[in-house]
Structure 1
């Protein structure tokens, strides 16, 4: 099992490799990323994205959710919204 920092390093390397493949024209590269989207009413959301020669070419939807998953998502939105607002505020101060 990978320790915390090794896991994030590995995940970053996998995502960077996927980005490079997409930029080089390899078709149908799909990875997860925290991106600006309209998947929910939140301005940013972790979603599957299709990568291509222009970077993120498509933000894919959530797909069908069970009632349990819908409830979980709704219960997390206030915390996610707060975190997003803090991130935007920080970015605007930098």
Structure 2
């Protein structure tokens, strides 16, 4: 379920944005992002100020983790080991497309090592909580991810071309299945979302991960919408 305090804070922030800066670009990092982004969208929609090209769920932490974990296996520099992560931003909805990474061949698709890596990427937050013995969560890495995505968006807003990064946005990719939001590679532009990329060539194993993610993602999105009804 959505933590009520998070949901209420996000809704109230969205309401304040409507009143004061209705054309702002809104970057949502409050968890659960799969539900809080729909909360913001529905709040803006009810106020008549919703522009889906200006609303983003920050999933960059999943991308950073995937790059770091894969590079530790491949023996590469994380900064030079990009991994596209699609789907959502929690558990099974996080789908790393390792096959599309330059270092993806370091782990055989479908192998036990691949399954362990996927699980670690999906549940990396739990690893941090356990390391802190319940005294906190991944706050520093979340801040890093937020800064990283924000800088990319600012560069795009200033006119820099060719900036593509995963982010959770209103997407046509699975809209026919009732899934209004989805994270995939998105080209950012002067007005926000410029182009939403398809998943391209993914492996059978990655398709299975996507198939497992969709029902959970749909439930998460519906819970967000229901909170604002």
- TM exceeding 0.5: yes
- The alignment status of 1:76 with 2:213, answered yes or no, reads yes
Corresponding residue of 1:62: 199
- The alignment status of 1:32 with 2:166, answered yes or no, reads yes
Q: Which is richer in helix? A: 2
Q: TM-score, normalised by structure 2?
A: 0.38
The C-alpha deviation readout for 1:34-81, integer Å capped at 9, x for no partner, is 011011232110111111111111111111111111112112211111
Aligned counterpart in structure 2 of residue 50 of structure 1, from 187, 190, 194: 187
Aligned residues: CA RMSD: 1.8
Shift >3 Å, 4+ stretches: none
Q: Which runs of 5+ in 1 are unaligned?
A: none
Q: Name the SS for the 1:26 alignment partner.
A: coil
Q: TM-score, normalised by structure 1?
A: 0.88
Q: Which runs of 5+ in 2 are unaligned?
A: 1-67, 69-127, 129-136
Q: Which is richer in strand? A: 1
Give the whole-Å Cα distance in 2 for the aligned partners of 1:71 and 1:61.
16
Give the aligned length: 92
Q: CA deviation at 1:87?
A: 1.5
